[in-house]
A = this chain, B = another copy of it.
Amino acid sequence: MNRMETLKKAFDETSYQLSGHGPRNAGVLKQAFQKIDEDTKSDIYGTGSSINDFEDKMASFLGKEKAVFFPSGTMAQQIALRIWCDEKGSAKVAYHPLSHLEIHEEDGLKKLHGIETVLLTDRDSVVQLEDIKSMPGDTACVLLELPQREIGGQLPDFETLAAISEYCRENDIQIHLDGARILETLPFYKKSVKEICSLFDSVYLSMYKGIGGIAGAILAGDDDFIKESKVWKKRHGGDLISLYPYIFTADYYFELRKDKMTDYYEAAKKLASKYNACEGITTLPEVPVSNMFHVHIAKPKEQAADILAEVQQESSIGLTGYVREINDASCYYEVSLGDSYAGVPQDKVELAFELLNGKMKA
């Protein structure tokens, strides 16, 4: 076993994990289906109350005319951008260089839709109004990801958002929200989800991040946009005969967790401060603005992996199952708070951080 495998194994064998909502297993589905009656009818190709009721509920929740349930956010967002590009007659969209579409989708947007991308700002920064103002004039659409996951979930302030939205609307540029984790930002923004969504023409929300469903996504916008998105959903092969396994679980965990985002945010701030108290460790951002942050360790990846494996073996507290190299002298991993944290004994957490600090100093 190499050192990365040892780290993974150490994490998998811990009794408590600080991140997430617990294991991704069949129990997640079974729990959500416990109270679903066997006679409940399946949705059929996007029709039927099993899908349409949830879509209506989410449209209303987000403050949009209509919503549609997609099997994945990848599909939902490519389609949103395609529709806006077709409307404007320009196959050009702008987003952050570390957008999910740019780095995690095998260039689906380019290869399936022939859309050219403009990368706003540099990799380590949050998009600002100046970046939007310097876009090429024929940019059809801007995608903003809130929080910006790949840089620790950083956020522009609300005034910046409002100014970007206003600029886009004045200049006939569509603005799409990659809101996979938008609920997780509400405690920081101190805004309702409707207030945030009103700044955008279309909105995507993931069903398995903060909400913790099995898979799936909601895309919301005006009536014409959603009608068109359903045509593209069929073209992509996403108009499944039955999506109810994802919809019923999404609805169940949405109800269970939608009002717990403040708990996750407060836990993230506490946990980040524990990390920042350790020698050679900092979090990005230093004070989290959502339920997530990145942990940066000023050690080479292999050395950090050894330390983290030992801490986890000795404390039985799960911190991470991996580390990613930044450069020869540092590495990082992501932390995302959910239901699990509240169930972890605090004395064991303290022990884990004492061990971590001690080993970092050694």
Contacts and interface: CB of A to CB of B under 8 A. Distances in A.
A236 B237 contact: yes
A207 to B, nearest CB: 10
A156 interface: no
Contact of A107 (B27, B30, B235): B235
A238 to B, nearest CB: 6
Given A44-B24, A240-B215, A234 B106 contact: yes
B36 A26 contact: yes
Interface in A166-188: none
A248 B30 CA distance: 12
A109 to B, nearest CB: 9
A9 to B, nearest CB: 15
Contacts of A61: none
B41 A76 contact: no
B234 A74 contact: yes
Interface in A58-82: 70-76, 78
A123 interface: no
A158 interface: no
A42 B30 contact: no
A229 to B, nearest CB: 12
Within the oligomer, what is the number of copies of this chain? 2
Contacts of A215: 240-243
Interface string A245-288: 11010000000000000000000000000000000000000000
A234 B105 CA distance: 6
A238 B72 contact: yes
Contacts of A108: 234-237
Instruction: Give the most central of A111, A208, A245: most B CB within 10 Å.
Output: A245
Contacts of A244: 26, 29, 214
Contacts of A159: none
Interface string A296-323: 0000000000000000000000000000
Nearest to A34: B30
Contacts of A236: 74-75, 108, 112, 236-238
Interface residues of A, number: 51
Interface in A31-64: 33, 36-42, 44
Nearest to A249: B245
A113 interface: yes
A82 to B, nearest CB: 9
Interface in A202-244: 208, 214-215, 231-232, 234-244
A212 to B, nearest CB: 11
A343 interface: no
A23 interface: yes
A192 B27 CA distance: 37
A25 interface: yes
B30 A75 contact: no
A302 to B, nearest CB: 24
Given A25-B38, A107-B235, 6 more contacts: A25-B41, A26-B40, A29-B244, A30-B38, A76-B237, A208-B242
27 contacts: A24-B41, A24-B42, A24-B241, A25-B39, A25-B42, A26-B36, A26-B248, A27-B38, A28-B42, A29-B245, A33-B33, A71-B71, A71-B237, A71-B240, A72-B237, A72-B239, A74-B234, A74-B239, A75-B238, A76-B237, A78-B237, A105-B237, A106-B231, A214-B244, A215-B243, A237-B238, A245-B246
